[in-house]
Structure 1
Amino acid sequence: MDKKLNIDLQRVPNHVAVIMDGNGRWAKGKGMNRIFGHRNALTAIRQVADASSEIGVKFLTMYAFSTENWKRPKLEVDALMSLLISTLKKELPEFQRKNVKVNAIGNLTSLPKNAQKVLEDVINSTKNNTKITLTFALSYGSREEIVNAIKNISKKVVNKEVNIEEISEKTINNHLYTFNLPDVDLMIRTSGEQRISNYLLWQMAYAELYFTDILWPDYREEHYYDAIIEYQNRERRFGKTSEQITE
């Protein structure tokens, strides 16, 4: 049976965030190096992006490279940057055909210059697409993001551009990398790890968290639909009681 038929298309999450974990373990299990795992992760990305678009998810954010990932062996980091460049170039026609708007968050200036250029070109080329916004978190760390927001707001206070008494959640939102994205409704992490690893800490304040043992290169649309169905079976109260939600 097609699991998609069990999804209420009127109640799909608006914004899904994914931690794509398990590439290295998947490759190791096959007697290969970690880079092999990263290269075999692309099918999962395509399937989740296509499934999201098909059921009406408007925003999909994928944790592609964290600030901590720079500490990995240079060979792996270089391979990941090369894979980023080649994938973006290859997928651009598909992004256009499927009406996908590409976005990126993180300390993007720390990426290699050629990666920055290709990313900028793809973002500009797809900026008018409207079906779904696909955001890649690159050189991203949520604590760094929040620190940067505080610094920028503080500068505006010092320069009397912002009144300290008027600082609100909206003020902070507007100074985050995700200023143009809504809060996360559902966060999915693969590979069995149950933590959020410095990912969208502010944006996931009321997100539903879903963990699966499946390693990312094996993740497919039917697994994604399982997460969506589980999300729809939960009661999101946002601090209220069940009775208040049903009134």
Structure 2
Amino acid sequence: AGVELLSVFMFSVRNFSRNSFDMTSALNQANQIHVDIVDNVDAFPAMGMQSCTCGDLERLPEELRASLARSKIATSSIREKSLNLSCAAYNTTYQMSRMARHLATAIKEGIIYTKDLTAAFLDEYVSLTECPPAELLLRSAGDQRFSDFEVLQCNYAHFHLGSKKWPAVGFVDWLRAMIEFQLNWPAIEAVKEKHDKMTSYGSGRSDPEQVIRQRKFLRHVHVANILNMERLAGLHNGVM
């Protein structure tokens, strides 16, 4: 099926403490990329590509927030798609704290119960608010670290370490990473399947009421995300 989702770490929450000139240049470049997506949206159905974003977008400049939201909305009707996910004002630690506050509020309001926070439910929540589990993590510039990027999604990801800095990464580098991934994936997948069986063993039957609460809450999160993108894009003033 090919690559279904490509996540790009645009800006960490920590990047906002960097030199203002560097940050302004990077933010302007990111804004122009997403403005170009909207301006050339007619080309995206042929490519089968949809633009998405995650992170605390409220921390970004208003113009960039709007262009990120507009590019997501403009490409949202593409059905057979691969996702290009831009992670902005993001890192895993920060996202986990946001998730904890969101779930704590939902429990306090009686929307879900503490016992509803199962491993499967949390995995689905992270997939919905960020992205599904990753299979390949490509790290450029020779740094042997995650940089607090999609840590929860990389439990079973193949880690490819490249020596080039990101602007210099080209086709051959991607090809090398893909071949290395294909050689190692069968062993990784076998471990993942083994762990999945261990997790599901003895879990028992699902509680129908619990399933209903979980599905209702996740549907609420999905709708709230859509309305928030519309608000950021300037389509209306309210948010769920």
SS in 2 for 1:238: helix
1:179-194 paired onto structure 2 within 5 Å = 179=129, 181-194=131-144
Aligned-partner Cα distance in 2 for 1:195–1:239 = 22
Gaps of 5+ in 1: 1-9, 11-55
Where does residue 24 of structure 2 map in the other structure? 78
Task: Work out which of the residue numbers 134, 143, 156 in structure 2 matches 1:206.
Answer: 156
Aligned-partner Cα distance in 2 for 1:127–1:111 = 22
On the 8 A contact 1:188/1:209 being kept in 2, the answer is yes
Q: Does 1:132 align with 2:82?
A: yes
Q: Shift in Å at residue 78 of structure 1?
A: 1.1
Where does residue 191 of structure 2 map in the other structure? 238
Q: Shift in Å at residue 181 of structure 1?
A: 3.1
Q: Shift in Å at residue 174 of structure 1?
A: 4.2
Structure 1: which amino acid aligns with 2:107?
A: V
Q: Does 1:58 align with 2:4?
A: yes
Q: Shift in Å at residue 177 of structure 1?
A: 7.1
Aligned-partner Cα distance in 2 for 1:151–1:80 = 30
What TM-score do you get using the length of structure 2 for normalisation? 0.72
Gaps of 5+ in 2: 198-240
On the 8 A contact 1:88/1:118 being kept in 2, the answer is yes
SS in 2 for 1:127: coil
Aligned-partner Cα distance in 2 for 1:179–1:109 = 15
Q: Shift in Å at residue 135 of structure 1?
A: 0.2
Aligned-partner Cα distance in 1 for 2:179–2:124 = 32
Task: Work out which of the residue numbers 165, 177, 183 in structure 2 matches 1:215.
Answer: 165
Aligned-partner Cα distance in 2 for 1:95–1:68 = 32
Where does residue 203 of structure 2 map in the other structure? none
Where does residue 196 of structure 1 map in the other structure? 146
Task: Work out which of the residue numbers 32, 49, 53 in structure 2 matches 1:104.
Answer: 53
In the alignment of these two chains, the number of paired residues is 188
Q: Shift in Å at residue 84 of structure 1?
A: 1.2
Aligned-partner Cα distance in 1 for 2:67–2:125 = 25
Going from structure 1 to structure 2, the CA distance change for 1:116 and 1:238 (only over 3 Å counts) comes to same
Going from structure 1 to structure 2, the CA distance change for 1:151 and 1:98 (only over 3 Å counts) comes to same
1:214-240 per-position Cα deviation (integer Å, ceiling 9, x unaligned): 221111112101111101111213356
Q: CA RMSD in A?
A: 2.1
Percent identity for Structure 1 against Structure 2: 17
On the 8 A contact 2:54/2:130 being kept in 1, the answer is no
Aligned-partner Cα distance in 2 for 1:225–1:144 = 32
Q: Shift in Å at residue 148 of structure 1?
A: 1.2
Higher relative contact order (CA 8 A, sep 6+): 1
Aligned-partner Cα distance in 2 for 1:229–1:150 = 38
- Greater share of helix: 2
SS in 2 for 1:181: coil
- Which sits farther off after the overlay, 63-72 or 155-164? 155-164
SS in 2 for 1:231: helix
